[in-house]
């Protein structure tokens, strides 16, 4: 276990997560605002194996972990911390669609930010969100990130909102 909240546990992914991981990653509703193509089971299994392998890399800056509901003892999604060359990191989260609306994002986001700054020693945490993704906008608005700006994202052809928290900011 890396960290937990009242209802959720964050841990390393394992090969036993393959089925629910594929269910999440192959759902076009889950990926609607985050981009990336859906893959078949074999493609997602290969991706899962690659993510697990990254845990062993000395200079890994691409962390994706499993999220479990403690009461259900089930995989419900993933969280991510992707570190850049300034020792700052983008956060992300995805949940299986059947777990949407349970407040998991609102609960896990502050804990993920805290983990990045306090446990991993990162200089700052940040997030980008397509403003049409109203559920994630709400999660980030209620997190301990500060809204910085809204801008046109040429690559994804959408308006993104950018949020950030520096490590020296008050928790």
Chain centroid to CA 171: how far?
20
- The tokens of 143 are what? 């997190």
Pick left, alpha or beta for residue 163 (phi over 0 → left; psi -120 to 50 → alpha; otherwise beta): beta
Q: Which residue has the tokens 């959720």?
A: 8
**pLDDT for the residue 35:** 76
Rounded to a whole number, what is the distance in angstroms from the first to the last CA of the chain?
A: 23
The answer to whether residue 171 is domain-embedded is no
CB atoms within 10 A of CB 63: 19
Establish if 14 belongs to a structural domain.
yes
pLDDT tens digits along 55-86: 999 989 999 999 999 999 999 999 999 999 99
Query: Strand, coil or helix: what is 66?
Result: strand
Q: Are 99 and 132 in contact (CB under 8 A)?
A: no
Residue 43 located in a structural domain: yes
Number of domains observed in the structure of the chain: 1
> The tokens 């546990």 sit on which residue?
9
The pLDDT value recorded for residue 83 is 96
12 membership: H or E segment, kind and range: strand 8-12
- Which positions of the chain have pLDDT values less than 50? 169-171
pLDDT of residue 29: 94
DSSP 145: P
> Locate tokens 């594929």: which residue?
22
- The CATH code of the domain that includes 18 is 3.40.630.30
HEC letters along 91-144: EEEEECHHHCCCCHHHHHHHHHHHHHHHHCCCCEEEEEEECCCHHHHHHHHCCC
pLDDT at 170: 42
Q: Determine the structural domain holding residue 146 and report its residue range.
A: 3-166
Q: Is residue 109 part of a domain?
A: yes
State pLDDT tens for residues 127-140.
999 999 999 999 99
User: pTM here?
Assistant: 0.94
> Residue 151: enclosing H or E segment and its boundaries?
strand 146-153
CB 161 within 8 A of CB 147: yes
């Amino acid at each position: 276990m890396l960290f937990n909240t009242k209802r959720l546990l964050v841990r390393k992914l394992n090969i036993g997560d393959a089925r629910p991981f594929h269910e999440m990653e192959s759902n076009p509703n889950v990926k609607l605002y985050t981009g990336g193509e859906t893959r078949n089971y074999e493609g997602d299994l290969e991706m899962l194996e690659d993510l697990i392998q990254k845990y062993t890399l000395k200079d890994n800056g691409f962390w994706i972990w499993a999220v479990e509901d403690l009461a259900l003892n089930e995989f419900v999604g993933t969280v991510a911390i992707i570190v850049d060359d300034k020792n700052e990191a983008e956060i992300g989260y995805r949940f299986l669609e059947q777990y949407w609306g349970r407040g998991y994002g609102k609960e896990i986001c502050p804990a993920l930010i805290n983990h990045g700054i306090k446990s991993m020693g990162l200089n700052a945490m940040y997030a980008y969100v397509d403003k049409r993704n109203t559920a994630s906008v709400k999660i980030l608005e209620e997190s301990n990130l500060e809204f910085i700006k809204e801008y046109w994202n040429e690559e994804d052809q959408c308006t993104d909102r950018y949020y950030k928290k520096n490590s020296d900011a008050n928790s």
